[in-house]
Chain A
């Protein structure tokens, strides 16, 4: 695989995606295993929406320390509260815990406000009942199942079940990977993060559909006599869409990256971070999986169909070179007109 930016820009790239696909798939499988293991071993850092309890965000005077806030928290029965300083310049403290049942919401806020030396009005609060998380998680799960079924149906109708399977495996890969990253780094998971996970699924599918669409388009334009094998076909198609994939990834990642770096880190809007990390990881892994997971799996499956297995055998017998350049040339020659489906050709008539 010779890598050349210039060739890519010109669309003259001819990389053997499927030649490396087994090794890459293996790498992906290991990564997913590590992620799944991390989810089980380290567990997920669930936000209060899933566990119940309260969170207070307190903008404090600059001389206030974490200990001051912690003292105030234990005064209202939150000795085990987690207190974080989440912003550098203007100090913002984040307290998470469950106050004693005897304390009213108001008294907790006023106690914290006093410790931070600020007005109670400036404190943002969130309290969630323990059962709420089950509700949220239950709904998300149900939505997920319905969505996957609908997408499987849709892809089967639009393409075929093998592609649906490939796409869904790729999506599962993306989700496992992203959730794994959350487990490894112990980022907090909130409903916003769940939204981001769902977005990733949509994105990954979107990307995969673009790839499949091209493969199917190319497959249609093959002449009946073509000797091209399915992996070749897939390879050519992947080479054709790779530039789109890269460009789309870049233009999708740029706004999200800006949200994360400019919005969250520089300007300190921590609520933006909930979405941004999951989106960033998911977008990248989603583009990757469309090219390196979904398509190779489909190629494996298709190669078992009698027609394509036959092609593969005759290619081996004839020793036809499988170079991508050749395949692309064959495809270009076979293609009658890209914008309209090829006319059925008369028998025995050579082009």
Chain B
């Protein structure tokens, strides 16, 4: 019995120390939410009903856009019918807000020239050509070749050549990259935009192809473009990225086109979705847009930490005053839970990108009460037994079962609450539920594997039969009557 308590204690301490050491040495720290470090939080909701496939595709596109901004710990999750995008610490907040959820156009642009984005000589040539193009000489295919020899020294980098997003205008000549980033394209002004596409579907006919049908206006425009570019490539451009550049091999389409190539199933379906829905397959409404300045976020964090520490100190002082040695055990239990919680929060942030939000932090502050309560339930049982005349040692060992049963049943109510809230709500409430659930589970584990053996050992070693050390002083021993 005694040995097993000691083993349990040692295991908990070793486990806690190891996980904490692991987290610290890996350099993991909790990822802080938008409200705690500043940043942007956007909640989007589709304006119309959408299929799951469209929704997922839309989230994928938003994720790509966010990655392009370069946010350290973006968190983009679908929560029911909403997309919650959290970009803690993002620098240019207004731009981030604008970029997310905007529906960019799909454009068909004739390909003027393709280039290798890794070849500096080609890049220099193209930069020159583009500059000339802007002077009005648009569409002269030979300009690149003819000017190549004239600019031998000034080396252009890729970013000088590519058209920045704000200049990506329908009627301008642009230089863009393909979706793989391996090929560069110089493209003529758009011949038509995605609005004229009625339907696009991927089908399998010996190979994967995409069928596209246009409305009347689109049929006319497409035929015009086909006539002018017969035998050449036309790029399908989305969000400034060339998704595909099929060759036109007919002059008249009558509103129906087939795009074939070496697609696999996913590529074909993806292309069909792009054609059908444009940039975002879903039109989103911005339900909630929040920007938090870094100063405000840091202020909240600082205030929260100081307030939390003051609260903890008060609780610790009270427990020590009231329960003496047992109060010390309660403080040790809290410290153990805290260390485990820190490891879990840091791990969640590192591996899942899950941020510790303000609501989550509040859940943790609230859980201090639950944690301490587990101690109090047990200690009050012990005191009661001693009052009845039971020896302190045997009271400590004997009353755990009844106390733990109470703890389990009460914690179960907290877990039900956390589970329901997590499943059925979004945003703030969900973050809170998550941490409430985690801390409750930690409480159960720490109560059983740490608090109980520590109490029993402390009572055996340090208290003996001096109940005063447990805050039981002045107590009449013996049975009541």
Interfacial residues, chain A to chain B (CB-CB below 8 A): 6, 10-12, 49, 57, 59, 105-106, 109, 121-129, 131-132, 135-136, 139-140, 142-143, 146-147, 150-151, 154, 158, 191-192, 194-196, 198-199, 201-203, 205-207, 209-210, 213-214, 217, 240-241, 243-244, 247-248, 250-259, 261-264, 267-269, 271-272, 275, 279, 283, 325, 328-329, 332, 337-340
Contacts and interface: CB of A to CB of B under 8 A. Distances in A.
A105 to B, nearest CB: 7
B103 to A, nearest CB: 17
B413 A209 contact: yes
Given A252-B366, A256-B365, A267-B302, A214 B406 contact: yes
Given A11-B384, A275-B362, A339-B399, A257 B480 contact: no
Given A123-B291, A267-B306, 10 more contacts: A11-B380, A49-B288, A106-B94, A132-B288, A192-B358, A198-B421, A203-B366, A214-B406, A244-B377, A251-B369
A135 B413 contact: no
Contact of A255 (B290, B368, B428): B368
Contact of A132 (B287, B369, B423): B287
Contacts of A328: 480
A259 B416 contact: no
B376 A251 contact: yes
Interface string B39-63: 0000101000000000000000000
Nearest to A127: B289
A10 B296 contact: no
B424 A142 contact: yes
A347 B427 CA distance: 61
10 closest residue pairs by CB, A with B = A252-B369, A255-B311, A263-B307, A269-B303, A258-B311, A267-B303, A143-B424, A132-B287, A202-B417, A263-B303
Contacts of A272: 300, 303-304, 307, 358, 362
B307 A262 contact: yes
B413 A124 contact: no
Nearest to B36: A271
Given A254-B311, A255-B312, A338-B398, A247 B322 contact: yes
B140 interface: no
Interface string B388-411: 100000000011111001100111
Contact of B299 (A49, A194, A214, A268): A268
Interface in B237-291: 285-291
Interface residues of B, number: 90
Given A121-B293, A259-B307, A325-B480, A105 B369 contact: no
Contacts of A121: 93, 293-294
Interface string B365-378: 11011101100110
Contact of A198 (B35, B286, B406, B429): B429
B293 A213 contact: no
Contacts of A196: 362
Contact of A271 (B300, B412, B417): B300
Interface stretch (B5-13, B154-162, B198-206, B471-479): B471-479
Contacts of A214: 406
A143 B409 contact: no
Nearest to B81: A135
B425 A213 contact: no
Interface of B: 35, 38, 43, 45, 80, 82, 93-94, 97, 285-296, 299-300, 302-304, 306-308, 310-312, 314-315, 318-319, 322, 358-359, 362-363, 365-366, 368-370, 372-373, 376-377, 380-381, 383-385, 387-388, 398-402, 405-406, 409-414, 416-418, 420-421, 423-429, 432, 436, 474-476, 479-481
Contacts, number: 267
23 contacts: A49-B288, A59-B295, A122-B295, A122-B296, A125-B289, A127-B286, A139-B80, A192-B362, A195-B429, A202-B414, A206-B370, A206-B373, A251-B319, A254-B318, A255-B311, A255-B365, A256-B365, A258-B310, A263-B304, A267-B306, A267-B307, A279-B366, A329-B481
Nearest to A48: B288
Contacts of A206: 370, 373, 410-411, 413-414
A210 to B, nearest CB: 5
Contacts of A132: 43, 45, 287-288
B324 to A, nearest CB: 12
A143 B429 CA distance: 10
A57 B35 CA distance: 13
B291 A125 contact: yes
A146 B423 CA distance: 11
A339 B61 CA distance: 60
Nearest to B92: A121
A150 B369 contact: no
Nearest to B407: A210
A332 B303 contact: no
- Most A-side CB within 10 Å, residue of B295, B358, B388: B295
A201 B366 CA distance: 13
A313 to B, nearest CB: 26
A250 B376 CA distance: 11
A288 B264 CA distance: 66
A244 B414 CA distance: 18
A320 to B, nearest CB: 16
Contacts of A255: 307-308, 311-312, 314-315, 365-366, 368-369
Nearest to A254: B314
A251 B293 contact: no
Contacts of A198: 417, 421, 429, 432
A328 B429 CA distance: 44
Contacts of B322: 247
A205 B300 CA distance: 30
